Amino acid sequence: QANPFQHRICRVFSTSEDSDDSMSFEDFLDMLSVFSDSATSDIKSHYAFRIFDFDEDGILDRKDLEQLVNCLTGQGEESRLSSAEMEQLVQNILEESDIDKDGTINLAEFQLVISRSPDFARYGLQW
């Protein structure tokens, strides 16, 4: 099964000026270094944040969080959350992560939350 973030991963690591998400060999090596066991948690969390920032505006807002949940739960009708379930989940994520209560998650807030996650520290970006 394909990685639900494959397009975002290619986009984040691509240095192509054509906006076609193509990757050079150097881009590929950069990606592998971030996904390696030797990459620090800060580097992994920085790239995870960029991958989850679907609109690339430097913050994770409700729309980004909804897209993230949809990627994680699948796009099929049977796995899709109801509007109420999605709203509750996004609200819970914001309550846990949005330290400055501005309705979004910035990189520093994301990294703080990630630093408390033993699973992220152990597995990081190993999709």
Mean pLDDT of all residues in the chain? 89
pLDDT (mean) for 31-39: 91
Give the pLDDT confidence score for residue 127 in this predicted structure: 45
Neighbours of 49 (CB within 10 A): 22
pLDDT (mean) for 87-91: 96
| CA angle, 20 then 120 then 7, to 5° | 15
What spatial distance separates the first Cα and last Cα of the chain, rounded to whole Å?
A: 12
pLDDT (mean) for 29-53: 93
Query: Does 24 map to a domain?
Result: no
Query: Does 18 map to a domain?
Result: no
**What span, in angstroms and rounded, lies between the C-alpha atoms of 89 and 40?**
29
Helices and strands, number each (H, E), in the chain: 7, 0
Cβ proximity of 100 and 53 under 8 Å = no
Residue identified by tokens 């819970």 is 92
On the question of pLDDT at 45 being above 90, the answer is: yes
Query: Does 11 map to a domain?
Result: no
Query: Does 85 map to a domain?
Result: yes
Query: Does 27 map to a domain?
Result: no
Overall number of domains in the chain = 1
Tell me the per-residue pLDDT of 100-126, one tens digit each, with 9 for 90 and over. Answer: 999 999 999 999 998 888 776 555 555
**What span, in angstroms and rounded, lies between the C-alpha atoms of 102 and 115?**
21
Return the CATH number at 49: 1.10.238.10
**What span, in angstroms and rounded, lies between the C-alpha atoms of 59 and 79?**
26
Query: Does 68 map to a domain?
Result: yes
* Backbone φ, ψ for residue 20 (5° rounding): -105, 5
Give the pLDDT confidence score for residue 121 in this predicted structure: 52
Residue 93: domain span: 40-125
Residue identified by tokens 């009708």 is 77
